[in-house]
Structure 1
């Protein structure tokens, strides 16, 4: 018995010794050899996204701003879709791709989730640890997107401690509030997730967050003592208004999704509605579908003066196929005669041009926490596109000024009223567009430099 214990202790101590010896050294700023960068960077930053980098615009904007200010950046995440073209072209930015988790661990079933969820987390823990501790060099700052919180915050906290790296958490939302959408607020895993998020959030050197209201929650409820800096989302430079009607019309005519309604675009008898969605539970897309069905009915019966609508929905996500089938069934039943709904996945530049060429943007983001804001609305304002959006959450007024650059709604009926009023009266829509164009002058670098740039000692 004693001999077995001694043998076990020997093997464990040997394994721990190798583990310690293989740990990376503490941070020391070195000359970068990536992309043949000729000059010493001001600082080195890793940006961790436990998701698709191409669908994480805010983190991409962080990388561009850091590189622009003279820093070296490694973006760690899933490299599944196209990233911003300036990232690919910048010699100071490199991408470290995480291996995707096995497809068998992805499920929407609540019971299977309780089994697959922990297995998926274990897989991610291994990938994150190997990437942060061994595949990459020590850096001065690790900027982590939250959520997802599990296992990102725990692994990041440990590697930052061992590498003498400063941990900077960028709070987009709360992981536990998103988990509550699937399991319910009272579920033990949701409560555990909230405790986990609060606990590991305290190991950060500083925090960024997307709203002032969220900063207040982090301070009062999470009891975080490190600096908490609100950094509102702003559009990147490729989102710009298009003021020439001819240019807007030419772009719309070039879209394959607009082929069935090209004569209406040419004649001006069509309004183009754009919505971007991740096709997840925190965006109830049925709200827009119901509203468009009722709009079509009104335009066909009691209000024939209403223009026809082309609704282009962009994005990828788990519920997309379900809604595409629902839309096809409604079209087959004749409930969308005055509305054409198309889905699209566009390049970065084409998406920016679509927003600048459309008539109205729609946001269905309901906010699981009540204190985050939809990035899609920021992009719409950057392109000078007025917005109607779900406004039943606390942080909404931080983004949209009611009646100036957009309007809010809280039900399909209210959304129908907004569509009828704005599409039926171009004067009101034009007034909102002027407000959105004015909002477009507020840019990412103007917000980032005095907040994150100052924190990272780059400006």
Structure 2
């Protein structure tokens, strides 16, 4: 009996010793002693993106702003596409890649999602923990993108507790509202996700959010006590207007296809960037272009449209097949739809040279905003966008820099109105170019820079 107790005690003590030895190192706020190398940065920040870093412009802008202000940054995320060139070249920024889940765990089936979903989350927990707690050095701050909230918030909260790191959540939307698009708002997993999100977010030191409307929801429904700081998206420096964007002959390069689009000056160029997901109903744009085609075929005053669609996503192939069949059937007269996958610099040139931008973002929560519109304004490009959600007026001033719609009919009417009357389009362009003077650093420095101790 005594031998059994001793054996159990030995096993428990050995296990505790191993766990203590394996605990991640903590952040040390003390300055280094003389002779320990280069001067200590103003602050150190881990940035967590449970997604493709190259497709997370806001988090890249955070990293660049912190680094330019003298902070040290480790950005953690998937490396599926090239990030901003300055992110790679800056000496104060390093990237820790997260291993992506196996391909077989990705599914569009609701039934298989209920089976594969937990396995995918378990895989992400292991990968996130290894990156946050061990691969990345301890830091003063951890800035985590939300959504996705599962399992990011749980792993980030535990890592911050053990490493004496302050957690800041950057709210782009709500994780439960994104999940509701797939499962329905009444599904038990959606309600569980909401509870999880409300519980875990209370452990954060502070919060950023993309709109004032989102701040109100976080205060009222999530009952957060920590500071909630609206930090509106603004364009980075590589998005800027160019002189004479409506010249008689324009060429857009698509690096991925090694092609050039060449056309005469009377053709209007429509640009839309989409993630090809359910919260951006691309059929609205297709239907609007079909209606425009019918009108333009009998109205010589309406110009041809070249619609260039950028982005990747799960529904892309389905829509490409539909577009191809419409072209083959001759139903898109005076309308040409092309897709392109562009580098950041080429995309910025495309926006600055186009006639009109289109946003199909419908907002699962009603209080987030599409980053693509911010980029379009940065390039001085006027916008028409889906406007039936609460936060839309925080971004677009109706009739000044853009116009909203709530149906394919509404979008079609805007296209006819703007392309038939160049004066109206130029009025919106002037408003968009004025909006382009509002830049990311102007918004970031007094809010995020101040919180992180960099300004």
Cα deviation for residue 42 of structure 1 reads: 0.3
Mapped to 1, the partners of 2:359 and 2:368 lie a distance apart of 13
- Aligned counterparts, 1:9-24, within 5 A: 11=11, 14-24=14-24
Mark the CA change 1:124 to 1:8 in structure 2 (over 3 Å): closer, same or farther. farther
Residue equivalent to 1:451: 447
Residue equivalent to 2:384: 388
Cα deviation for residue 88 of structure 1 reads: 1.1
Mark the CA change 1:367 to 1:307 in structure 2 (over 3 Å): closer, same or farther. same
Residue equivalent to 2:283: 286
Mapped to 1, the partners of 2:352 and 2:195 lie a distance apart of 43
Mark the CA change 1:403 to 1:9 in structure 2 (over 3 Å): closer, same or farther. farther
- Aligned counterparts, 1:318-337, within 5 A: 318-337=314-333
Mapped to 1, the partners of 2:22 and 2:72 lie a distance apart of 24
Cα deviation for residue 305 of structure 1 reads: 1.7
Gaps in structure 2 of 5+ consecutive residues: none
1:271/1:310 contact within 8 Å kept: yes
Mapped to 2, the partners of 1:368 and 1:229 lie a distance apart of 21
Mark the CA change 1:127 to 1:337 in structure 2 (over 3 Å): closer, same or farther. same
Structure that is richer in helix per residue:
1
1:307/1:423 contact within 8 Å kept: yes
2:382/2:432 contact within 8 Å kept: yes
> Aligned pair 1:377/2:373, yes or no?
yes
Match of residue 357, structure 2, among 352, 358, 361: 361
Residue equivalent to 1:196: 196
Residue equivalent to 2:127: 127
Residue equivalent to 1:347: 343
Mapped to 1, the partners of 2:9 and 2:444 lie a distance apart of 51
Mark the CA change 1:246 to 1:172 in structure 2 (over 3 Å): closer, same or farther. closer
- Aligned counterparts, 1:161-172, within 5 A: 161-172=161-172
Mapped to 1, the partners of 2:7 and 2:418 lie a distance apart of 77
Mark the CA change 1:30 to 1:382 in structure 2 (over 3 Å): closer, same or farther. farther
- TM-score relative to the length of structure 2: 0.95
Equivalent residues, number: 451
2:253/2:260 contact within 8 Å kept: no
2:246/2:354 contact within 8 Å kept: no
Residue equivalent to 1:212: 212
Mark the CA change 1:425 to 1:412 in structure 2 (over 3 Å): closer, same or farther. same
Mapped to 1, the partners of 2:258 and 2:26 lie a distance apart of 55
Gaps in structure 1 of 5+ consecutive residues: none
Mapped to 2, the partners of 1:148 and 1:17 lie a distance apart of 34
1:242/1:248 contact within 8 Å kept: no
Q: Which runs of 4+ in 1 moved over 6 A?
A: 1-9, 253-261
2:256/2:340 contact within 8 Å kept: no
- Aligned counterparts, 1:258-337, within 5 A: 262=262, 265-266=263-264, 268-301=265-298, 303-337=299-333
Mapped to 1, the partners of 2:244 and 2:285 lie a distance apart of 29
Mapped to 2, the partners of 1:279 and 1:231 lie a distance apart of 26
Partner SS for 2:252: helix
Mapped to 2, the partners of 1:329 and 1:308 lie a distance apart of 19
> Aligned pair 1:41/2:36, yes or no?
no
